[in-house]
């Protein structure tokens, strides 16, 4: 009986020690370091202008207005809802995948019928997560003439903004150059209407 009580006391002590250390001290230390060294990332990489939060750099948003750059298709029931993250899981032989791509292609062509350039594949397909906030630089360049025309801007003005928003692949050479769609669209609104004022999508 004494041996059992001794073992029980030792087990309880270990649980208490690990609870205090891992559930308290370690958690506070990691949170404190993250907040002090990586404040923006630790808080969700939020896009904040004044007292308004427009979204996160990590989660895409659905843009359907011609004056905005469009992101990738979100195959989720509620587009870009992070609660239901997941891809379409459709194979390349699935007719639904072809139908989805054709619908997006038709929507893009309707907005810009005179654009005869090849539509980049990432503009007509969904990402694995359904939340991808980025498009390739080629996908942005395809849309640039339309955005410039609808906004009454020169293509060189939009190109300058696009170049500032461009990011290189991993280590500068792995993968294609890309842009963050919501950051780019927010910058467009700010350029046209001033800091913190955003148009209806």
Tens-digit pLDDT profile for residues 154-201: 999 999 999 999 998 777 667 789 999 999 999 999 887 654 444 444
- Encode pLDDT of 6-38 as tens digits: 788 888 888 899 898 888 888 878 877 766 766
pTM of the model as a whole: 0.74
- How many residues are given for the chain? 201
């Amino acid at each position: 009986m004494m041996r059992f009580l001794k073992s029980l006391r030792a087990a309880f002590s270990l649980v208490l020690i690990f609870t205090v250390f891992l559930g308290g001290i370690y958690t506070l230390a990691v949170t404190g370091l993250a907040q002090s060294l990586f404040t923006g990332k630790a808080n969700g990489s939020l896009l904040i202008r004044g007292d308004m939060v427009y979204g996160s750099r990590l989660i895409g948003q659905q843009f359907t207005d011609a004056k905005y750059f469009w992101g990738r298709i979100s195959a989720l029931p509620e587009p870009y809802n992070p609660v239901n993250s997941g891809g379409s899981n459709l194979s390349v032989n699935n007719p639904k995948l072809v139908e989805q791509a054709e619908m997006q292609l038709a929507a893009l062509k309707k907005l810009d019928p005179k654009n005869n350039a090849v539509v980049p594949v990432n503009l007509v397909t969904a990402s694995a997560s359904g939340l991808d906030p980025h498009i390739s630089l080629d996908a942005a360049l395809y849309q640039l003439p339309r955005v410039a025309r609808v906004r009454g801007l020169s293509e060189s003005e939009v190109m300058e903004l696009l170049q500032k928003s461009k990011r290189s692949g991993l280590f500068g050479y792995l993968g294609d150059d890309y842009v963050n769609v919501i950051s780019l669209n927010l910058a467009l609104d700010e350029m046209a209407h001033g800091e913190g004022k955003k148009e209806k999508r």
